[in-house]
Amino acid sequence: MKILVIVRQTPDTEAKIQTNSAGNGIQTDDIKWILNPFDEFAVEEAVQIKEKSNAEVVVLTVGSDKAVDAIRTALAMGGDSGVHIKDDAFADMDTYALAKVIGAKIKALGDIDLILAGKKWIDEESSQVPLQVAEELSIPQATLASKVEVDEGSKTAKVTSVIEGGERIIELKLPALITVEQGINEPRYASLPGIMKAKKKPCEEVGKGDINGDEIGISEGELGIDGSRYKNDAIEIPTITRSLKVIDGNDVQQASSELAKLLREEAKII
């Protein structure tokens, strides 16, 4: 059994985000990058399934040279190999084009039984790519899994998701794609021995020439910004202005009346 985990490298949750000079993206030079926190749950779930069934776990990401660090983190957690899709032609892709690229590579791999992913990416607050990948591959999907049970004998996966007022249980025929919810497990820390072993695990680098072509159903026009259905024209970081007003006076009743007036007329919260 082979499991593939789609991961993403995102800015650290505490990173200070600033726009770039063009105003259509963010400055990336001084940002600390991490494995998307929700993807950690997907990696952990894949490794736990592997430990029960001797499955093979492949970790895949799309990104620049530094994105390999996200793969290495996942490999240190217990993944077996990585696939790093990197090329300038893949820059600035929207979720639609990105899913086509990922789907094309998965088709080329050919023998994936289960695809796992976190429920969303924290940088774009997007949960679209895994679902669109499933559509590209024409395989069943289930989202927000709080429990995944794989039966290798029947080639099925039973997925439990928490919904309002109860649980939803779906049984999928493999191959299938599942996005996992926060709390499905407790992601393990990458130990020092795991980090050292990760450096020696294979990681395939994939360029534009490796995934486009008639044999896997993706054309030049479906790559990068040309294959995207939307693009960023401008990004603005919201500014927060704060002001402090001190109410003078020793008369508590008068100060209270003044405070109530300010809350009603200026703050407009009462």
**Per-residue pLDDT tens digits for 231-270:** 777 777 777 777 778 887 778 888 888 888 888 888 788 8
Q: How far apart are CA 154 and CA 139, in angstroms?
A: 16
Beta strands in the chain (DSSP E): 2-6, 9-11, 33-35, 56-62, 81-85, 114-118, 141-151, 156-163, 166-173, 176-180, 203-206
Domain range summary for the chain, segments of one domain joined by +: 2-227, 240-270
Residue 232 in contact with residue 92, Cβ under 8 Å?
yes
- Provide the greatest CA pair distance for the chain: 83
Rounded CA gap, 76 and 194, in Å?
Answer: 4
Q: State the Cα–Cα distance between residues 248 and 63, nearest whole angstrom.
A: 57
**Which of 1-5, 90-94, 101-105 has the lowest average pLDDT?**
90-94
Provide the pairing of β-strand 141-151 with 156-163.
antiparallel
Choices 3.40.50.880, 3.40.30.10, 3.40.50.620, 3.40.50.300: CATH for 2-227: 3.40.50.620
Residue 268 exposure: Cα atoms within 13 Å on the Cβ side: 1
Please tell me the pTM assigned to this model.
Answer: 0.83
d(CA 261, CA 257): 6
* CA–CA dist 150, 114 (Å, integer): 9
Q: Which of 11-15, 23-27, 96-100 has the lowest mean pLDDT?
A: 23-27
- Rounded Cα distance between 21 and 194, Å, is 39
Rounded to the nearest 5°, which phi and psi values hold at 2? -120, 130
**Mean pLDDT computed over every residue of the chain:** 89
Task: Give the model's pLDDT for residue 124.
Answer: 81
Which residues lie below 8 Å from residue 270, measured CB to CB, with a gap of 6+? 260, 263, 264
- Residue 106 · residue 115 · CB < 8 Å: yes
- pLDDT value at residue 252: 82
What pLDDT does residue 31 have? Answer: 83
Band of pLDDT at residue 50, cut at 50, 70 and 90: very high
Lookup result for tokens 């990696």: 43
